[in-house]
Homo-oligomer: A and B are copies of this chain.
Amino acid sequence: MNRLELIKQIIDKQSFLCVGLDSDSDKLPDHLPKSPASMLAFNKSIIDATQEYCVAYKINSAFYEALGANGWEVMEKTVDYIPHSHFVIVDAKRGDIGNTSAQYAKAFFDTMDADAVTVAPYMGEDSVRPFLGYQGKWVILLALTSNEGAHDFQYFQDPDGKTLYSKVLEKAMSWASYHEMMFVVGATKTEQLAEIRLMAPDYFLLIPGVGAQGGSLETVAELTMTDEIGILVNSSREIIFASKGVDFAEKAGEKAKELQMQMQEILEHRFL
């Protein structure tokens, strides 16, 4: 999916919501057996219930790999099940030397037909470049993450006070345009959100950490939304595990709708 199509989806749905399918098999509703088949059925129900309110799904590969090859198959079938109208992100945080990253790109863009994959920047340009150049596909590069450990290295400063995350942004923008790269910036990092938006005015930001991790949607939008929207906000557990009962899909739909309505209000306020 290209940038214009994504923006059109956001405007049509009045939503910049990404639903995170962190479908931990141990946390499935109580009436579902703990199995790969249940995980797939769960995902399908969640997708059915939420697709009206979101523009993207983010599949967290770890939760699928934890079940081995059968889990990987659930991931593949989940990607296949997501409507073509939606932007599909595999949150895999890959990155390796060039010939290896090329294999990861093949895994997620060819074998699996995802629109985007998250990539970790530590190994530099030749670890990122093999993911680029696929028509309508995206690299979503980690810049500043929402977790506590972000402080260990991402704020590391050079003698001019430049942080590692801003160095990552700066370099990465010289590798790829905003037509094929986005950045992950945690919603909990409010002080840095405005700074990052200033540095990367045209790039989409994928913003996790709203909800379970504590970030506020209004604040995030205020600091990062652009004239071309420019943000996808992810919510995972808050939506998909809104209920452990047989009404799990219904509750997930309600939660997604609630977020969509907040987003609509933000969009109307901004663009009216």
Contacts and interface: CB of A to CB of B under 8 A. Distances in A.
A107 B62 contact: yes
Nearest to A75: B69
A51 interface: no
A7 interface: no
A148 B122 contact: no
Contact of A104 (B65, B68, B149): B65
A73 B69 contact: yes
Contacts of A124: 147-154
Given A107-B68, A120-B95, A167-B153, A125 B148 contact: yes
Q: How large is the interface on A (under 10, 10 to 19, 20 to 34, 35 or more residues)?
A: 35 or more
Give the copy number: 2
A35 interface: no
B103 A123 contact: no
Contact of A69 (B72, B148, B159, B171): B72
B112 A126 contact: no
A244 B120 CA distance: 34
Interface string A134-167: 0000000010011111111110111100001001
A47 interface: no
B122 A142 contact: yes
Name the residue in A65, A71, A98, A122 with the highest tally of chain B Cβ atoms < 10 Å from its Cβ: A122
A127 interface: yes
Given A124-B151, A124-B153, 4 more contacts: A67-B107, A72-B72, A122-B122, A123-B142
